[in-house]
């Protein structure tokens, strides 16, 4: 897009600088230019509930291709660490492709659909309460590193097929990947390299799981994904291994990092609103609705990129083929045309569909269990630690997203 075509709104959109409180800017955008071009990220930006919904509902037109290249901004030294950790494709072999990814995604959806969600939810509650009690015994401190990051992986490890002794490495590796994806431009080269080494070790671990399940299948999700991408001749080529690593990385990241971030932001907002906190303590039956409202009110993952596969008109903008679009979930969740008093946190609000778990065919396949985990965690912390309060301001991961790195609490 030419400089003359970029409006003042687009020039003002510097997401890293806005991250402390982006919501006034989002409201301005929805009023003045709901779809605009932001040169700082070289992408169009969709801000309204309807436009975000339109993009997410049509993955054929708005491809995930832009999401699958999130580490392009890394320093070469850090990128080399990650590139060297996964099996290298032969020179005459291209990318594994969308078809293999679709088969892996379908295997994941089928596995979740066939699982007994009530049994999983009961297992999840037991895991959450055990870890909360351990956190309580260890005393006040950072709830993110000591509780929130581990919860989703421990809760999902059995379904995935991850052995208990490997869970800490999965937690560390997956979080390091999120740290790089969210704030690479704000990190020094040494910080990038250190995080990249943890990611590399994590990807090597996933590759070992992939090869192990191909050799000796089990009744778990890793095996289901391996089976979905294995060629008819029964071989397990490099392309298939890479697809499994990519699929597991995305699945674990979506479950662990997004849910972890939601726990941090939801807890911070709840503890920052004393009246809402006291109301929840008095009426714990409000927990399911409170969790929906907390995740609507402040979505840590502000948005994700999509890429157009053809020329398209979104809102009042004509967008060319191959253009990137930043889909702002967090702005959609504050759309005044959909939500009454959108900038007010009200845990008694009647639940209404929001965009925190996505929309359409690529929406979060584990949203039910993610909601259960959030309910058990927020409800469990409030009821099991009655005097819980903030011990200081949150420390955020650098970047455009509102992902809390550290949140100290006391009681």
Q: What is the pLDDT of residue 177?
A: 87
Given a cut of 70, is residue 6 above it in pLDDT?
A: no
Given a cut of 60, is residue 135 above it in pLDDT?
A: yes
Residue 359: CB atoms within 10 Å = 20
3-state secondary structure 187-219: CCHHHHHHHHHHHHHHHHHHHHHHHHHHHCCCC
- So where are the chain's domains? 3-410
Q: What angle do CA 394, 399, 400 make, to 5 degrees?
A: 95
Q: Which CATH architecture has domain 3-410?
A: Orthogonal Bundle (1.10)
Interatomic CA distance for residues 158 and 152, integer angstroms? 11
Given a cut of 70, is residue 364 above it in pLDDT?
A: no
Instruction: Answer for the pair 228, 104: CB distance below 8 angstroms, yes or no.
Output: yes
pLDDT band at 90 (very low <50, low <70, confident <90, very high): very low
The β-bridge relationship of strands 35-38 and 43-46 is antiparallel
CA distances from 403 to 27, 269, 409 (A): 21, 13, 17
Query: In sequence order, what are the beta bridge partners of 326?
Result: 45, 305
Instruction: Answer for the pair 373, 121: CB distance below 8 angstroms, yes or no.
Output: no
Q: What is the pLDDT of residues 37-85, one digit of tens each?
A: 999 999 999 999 999 999 999 988 998 766 555 566 788 899 888 887 7
Global model pTM greater than 0.85: no
Instruction: Answer for the pair 211, 199: CB distance below 8 angstroms, yes or no.
Output: no
> Reduced to 3 states, what is the DSSP secondary structure of residue 305?
strand
Lowest mean pLDDT among 105-119, 183-197, 375-389: 105-119
Q: What is the pLDDT of residue 88?
A: 46
Helical spans, DSSP H, in 220-286? 221-229, 238-271, 274-282
Rg (CA), the chain: 21
Given a cut of 50, is residue 108 above it in pLDDT?
A: yes
Nearest residue to 397 via CA among 145, 27, 38:
145
pLDDT band at 8 (very low <50, low <70, confident <90, very high): confident
Q: What is the pLDDT of residue 315?
A: 94
Q: What is the pLDDT of residues 219-264, one digit of tens each?
A: 999 999 999 999 889 999 988 998 899 889 888 887 777 889 999 9
Distance of CA 142 to the CA centre of its chain: 21
CA distances from 312 to 295, 307, 316 (A): 31, 11, 10
Q: What is the pLDDT of residue 3?
A: 43
Instruction: Count CA within 13 A, CB hemisphere, residue 245.
Output: 26
Q: What is the pLDDT of residue 336?
A: 97
| Residue 27, Cβ density class (10 Å: 0-12 exposed, 13-18 middle, ≥19 buried) | middle
Q: What is the pLDDT of residues 270-317, one digit of tens each?
A: 999 999 999 999 999 999 999 999 999 999 989 989 999 999 999 999
Interatomic CA distance for residues 49 and 327, integer angstroms? 10
Given a cut of 60, is residue 331 above it in pLDDT?
A: yes
Given a cut of 50, is residue 144 above it in pLDDT?
A: yes
Burial annotation 31-64 (CB, 10 A radius, 16+ → b, else e): eebbbbbbeebebbbbbbbebbbbbbeebebbbb
Which residues contact residue 187 at a Cβ distance below 8 angstroms, ignoring those fewer than 6 apart?
A: 179, 180, 195, 398
Interatomic CA distance for residues 132 and 266, integer angstroms? 16
CA distances from 51 to 327, 329, 361 (A): 8, 10, 16
Q: What is the pLDDT of residue 172?
A: 92
Mean pLDDT, residues 82-109 taken together = 63
pLDDT band at 210 (very low <50, low <70, confident <90, very high): very high
């Amino acid at each position: 897009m030419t400089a003359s075509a970029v409006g003042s709104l687009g020039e003002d959109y510097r997401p890293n600088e806005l991250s402390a409180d982006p919501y006034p800017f989002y409201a301005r955008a929805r009023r003045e230019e709901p779809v605009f071009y932001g040169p700082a990220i070289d992408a169009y930006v969709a801000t309204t509930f309807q436009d975000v919904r339109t993009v997410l509902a049509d993955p054929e037109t708005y491809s995930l291709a832009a999401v699958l290249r999130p580490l392009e901004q890394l320093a070469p030294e850090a990128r080399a660490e990650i590139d060297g950790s996964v099996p290298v494709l032969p020179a005459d072999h291209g990318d594994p492709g969308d078809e293999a990814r679709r088969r892996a995604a379908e295997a994941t959806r089928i596995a979740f659909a066939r699982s007994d969600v009530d049994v999983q939810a009961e297992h999840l509650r037991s895991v959450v309460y055990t870890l909360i009690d351990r956190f309580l015994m260890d005393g006040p401190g950072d709830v993110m590193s000591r509780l929130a990051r581990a919860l989703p992986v421990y809760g999902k490890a059995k379904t995935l097929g991850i052995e208990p002794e490997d869970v800490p490495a999965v937690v560390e590796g997956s979080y390091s990947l999120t740290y790089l994806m969210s704030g690479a431009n704000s990190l020094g080269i040494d910080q990038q390299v250190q995080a990249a080494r943890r990611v590399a070790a994590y990807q090597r671990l996933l590759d070992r799981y992939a090869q192990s399940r191909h050799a000796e299948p089990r009744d778990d999700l890793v095996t289901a994904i391996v089976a979905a991408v294995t060629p008819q001749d029964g071989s397990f080529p490099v392309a298939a291994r890479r697809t499994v690593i990519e699929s597991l990385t995305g699945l674990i990241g979506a479950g662990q990092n997004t849910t972890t971030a939601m726990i941090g932001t939801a807890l911070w907002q709840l503890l920052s609103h004393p009246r809402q906190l006291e109301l929840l303590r008095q009426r714990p039956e409000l927990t399911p609705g409170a969790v929906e409202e907390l995740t609507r009110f402040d979505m840590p993952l502000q948005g994700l990129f999509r890429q157009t596969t053809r020329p398209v008109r979104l809102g009042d903008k004509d967008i060319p083929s191959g253009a990137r679009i930043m889909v702002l979930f967090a702005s959609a969740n504050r759309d005044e045309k959909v939500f009454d008093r959108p900038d007010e946190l009200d845990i008694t609000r009647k639940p209404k569909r929001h965009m925190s778990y996505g929309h359409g065919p690529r929406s979060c396949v584990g949203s039910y269990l993610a909601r259960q985990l959030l309910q058990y965690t927020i409800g469990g912390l409030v009821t099991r630690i009655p005097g819980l309060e903030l011990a200081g301001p949150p420390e955020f991961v650098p970047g455009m997203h509102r992902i809390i790195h550290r949140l100290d609490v006391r009681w």
